[in-house]
Amino acid sequence: MAQLADITPVILCGGGGTRLWPASRADHPKQFNRFAGQASLLQHTLLRAQALGLGRPMLLTAHDFRFVAAEQAAELGVEVDLVVEPCPRDTAPAIAAAALLCRAQGKGAMLVMPSDHKMDAAAFMPALKAGLEAAQIGRLVTFGVQPDRAETGYGYIEPAENAAPNTPGPVARFIEKPDAARAKALLAEGRSLWNAGIFLCAPEAMLAAFSTHAPDVLAAAQAALDNAARDLDFLRLGAGFGEMRAISIDYAVMEHAANVDVVPIAAGWSDLGDWKAIWEDAARDEHGVATLGGAVALDCADTLLSSEPGGTTLVGLGLRNIVAVATNDAVLVADMAKAQAVKSVVALLKSHSNATATAFKRHFRPWGWFEQRAQGTRFQVKTIFVRPGGKLSLQSHKQRSEHWVVVEGLARVTVGEATRDVKANQSLFVPLGAKHRLENTTDAPLILIEVQVGDYLGEDDIIRYDDVYARD
């Protein structure tokens, strides 16, 4: 009989999280943010898999997120198999590729779960054990949450019969995200469950379902694996993946398969999908006010105030049923009832070519990050953070020179043929066109201020000659 340690957690880590703008954006989505304390949502998911006693995680993420995903796993000391999707194709292609990998590796079962949800591991354990018994006889097991409100942001699952908690039972049908009236009716009926987007099955059972209901996706996933290549510590899926149609696992397989069971769970689940969900999950005072980061509230009620520690000072005065979120470059103020509509704000900003729709001032790189501080006609000022052991590429620029001032730590700098160490309160000049490299050879962080001067200051003005992170 299979044990929990025989289950491979397949963690999907490629989403965007636009309803949590401005804290979540396309270039650094919500799963990497730290809404739930010092750990990110991805890290909470990895820790949950550990607490459940599962096997080595398989983490599927996008090309642009591969280094931050690897870094956050390494922070926990958790070893993962990291699979890189070359382009977004929704959940079905990723799960098909994961099932093929699990079968090839002889894995007995796979637990597919999002990287950005909250759930109590101990409370989930009985449901997981019950689901494993069903999965071992070829069932595709999903997990449903008992609704406590008429929620329009989730899909629903209707069991074929009244299912008991932590007990598998056949699924009658899946229900798309309903409108408000339909959600109220579903809640009143008391039969349907929220679709948590968590699936447990044997790899062979999932592949058989793909073969029957989405053979084109399965064939393309196999081609992507046949053409996969190692890239440092990542497995990069190859040609074939981008040719797949973008489709969710529900549409591709689960809504059509006849061998689907649902296990009702009571495990404190939330998808933390919008600011109202963040407010519901946060510690609130006697007036229903949650303050995150450095925010301050006075005479407020049923309100969420969130700002970055040490960043913009956010003060709420006399607010009722309001969400206010401040980052260093954007502020959102919204009616709590409109939390689901924040994604329309992102769409509006995109239509106006507003960079804050998708990008932060802080840009994450495999060696650390940089953050824009000021910009003029022919100059730009950045803060650069290089983590211990971080090493920027050997590079040059055609249209700008750079001035570096070390603020903290010790920088090893190569300019031309010369290499030297630069300490805090020292500076150096990188002439236009000069080959140069910056690295942190110490076990302490390195922080410096960079002033760029030139006719063009875009990030694409980089010629790389050598890069330890194998970037183009």
**Domain range annotation of the chain:** 4-265, 283-351, 362-466
Mean pLDDT of 417-444: 97
**Token reading at 358:** 């998708």
Statement: residue 138 has pLDDT above 90 = yes
Summary mean pLDDT of the chain: 94
Q: What is the pLDDT of residue 36?
A: 55
Q: What is the pLDDT of residue 339?
A: 94
Closest CA to 13 of 98, 76, 75, 77: 98
Sole residue written with tokens 């509006």: 348
Kindly report the pTM of this predicted structure.
0.90
Statement: residue 318 has pLDDT above 90 = yes
Q: How confident is the model at residue 143 (pLDDT cuts 50, 70, 90)?
A: very high
**Token reading at 346:** 């992102």
pLDDT in tens, 36-71: 567 999 999 999 999 999 999 999 999 989 999 999
CA distance 89 to 251: 13
Fold for 4-265, please state it: Spore Coat Polysaccharide Biosynthesis Protein SpsA; Chain A (3.90.550)
pLDDT in tens, 163-180: 788 999 999 999 999 999
Q: How many C-beta atoms lie closer than 10 Å to residue 441's C-beta? A: 13
Q: At what angle do helices 121-135 and 41-51 cross, to 10 degrees?
A: 60
Mean pLDDT of 433-445: 97
Q: What is the pLDDT of residue 172?
A: 96
Q: What is the pLDDT of residue 280?
A: 93
Task: Read off the amino acid at residue 284.
Answer: R
**Token reading at 66:** 């591969």
**Token reading at 254:** 């689960």
Q: What is the pLDDT of residue 35?
A: 74
Q: What is the pLDDT of residue 311?
A: 84
Q: Which residues pair with 85 in a beta bridge?
A: 62
Helix, strand or coil for residue 326? strand
Closest CA to 12 of 38, 39, 37, 49: 49
Q: What is the pLDDT of residue 37?
A: 64
**For the chain, what percent of residues have pLDDT higher than 90?**
87
The more confidently predicted of residues 1 and 119 is 119
Statement: residue 315 has pLDDT above 60 = yes
Q: What is the pLDDT of residue 15?
A: 77
Mean pLDDT of 87-114: 96
Statement: residue 112 has pLDDT above 70 = yes
DSSP 15: -
Q: How confident is the model at residue 1 (pLDDT cuts 50, 70, 90)?
A: low
Second-level CATH architecture of 362-466: Sandwich (2.60)
Q: Which of 26-35, 111-120, 203-212 is least confident?
A: 26-35
Q: What is the pLDDT of residue 161?
A: 87
Statement: residue 199 has pLDDT above 90 = yes
CA distance 392 to 369: 11
Q: How confident is the model at residue 240 (pLDDT cuts 50, 70, 90)?
A: confident
CA distance 46 to 59: 10
Instruction: Give me the half-sphere count of Cα atoms (radius 13 Å) on the Cβ side of residue 419.
Output: 7
Q: How many C-beta atoms lie closer than 10 Å to residue 77's C-beta? A: 7
Mean pLDDT of 426-442: 97
- 463-466, strands of its sheet edge to edge: 418-422, 411-415, 436-439, 394-396, 463-466
| Measured CA angle at 6 (ends 231, 214), to 5 deg | 65
Q: Which residues pair with 13 in a beta bridge?
A: 61
Mean pLDDT of 428-437: 97
Instruction: Identify the sign of the CA torsion 57, 58, 61, 67.
Output: positive
> Are 210 and 96 a contacting pair, CB within 8 Å?
yes
> Are 10 and 100 a contacting pair, CB within 8 Å?
no
Statement: residue 105 has pLDDT above 60 = yes
Task: Read off the amino acid at residue 469.
Answer: Y
Sole residue written with tokens 């909250």: 118
CA distance 322 to 326: 13
